[in-house]
Amino acid sequence: MKNDIILAGVGGQGILSIAAAIGLAAVKNNLHIKQSEVHGMSQRGGDVQSHLRISDKPIASDLIPKGKTDLILSVEPMEGLRYLPFLSKDGWLVTNITPFNNIPDYPGLDDILKQIKLLPNHIAIDADAIAKQAGSSRSSNIVMLGAASPFIDIPFERLEDGIRQLFGKKGEELVNTNLKALKAGRDFTEKNR
């Protein structure tokens, strides 16, 4: 078993929380994991990306070669397109469709969605709207994790355990909101893939 995942977004969108939840789930499932992170001016809306490698065997490098990524999980649509050279021919792009307009010449959303729809394997989800329905607009990153979960080779229950562990110290209400967000994202992908 091997899963190479790129997490992409901009500062403040919860990329590192997604990575932590997956990491906790992987460790609980007795899997090896390596992670690297790049934060480019993330405090000012700059890009944040993480390479996450999960395997049942030891992993030599924390970086994923171009063309080898099984999954790009993007919480911002243009950031998802940025990492397409890393995607394998059978890989999946799972992206939020809500743009974060952090540059003056940000392309139109229709143009971005047209590019995404050209990919054979993609899920484009309005994670912000689903997070609001689940009880907290701040949980859109966890909606995204749920939407990507069918392509992560870890049982869904382990991802739920990762959420419980990650948010447990912040109270039961927050845990339950995030579990609801996780399930809502998963349900979206199961209905739309």
Encode pLDDT of 57-105 as tens digits: 999 999 999 999 999 999 999 999 999 999 999 999 999 999 998 888 9
3-state SS assignment for residue 52: strand
pLDDT band at 40 (very low <50, low <70, confident <90, very high): low
3-state SS assignment for residue 5: strand
Encode pLDDT of 120-142 as tens digits: 999 999 999 999 999 999 999 99
Encode pLDDT of 12-26 as tens digits: 889 889 999 999 999
E-strand ranges in the chain read 2-10, 32-39, 47-55, 69-74, 87-96, 122-125
Q: What is the average per-residue pLDDT within 168-190? A: 97
pLDDT reported for residue 101: 86
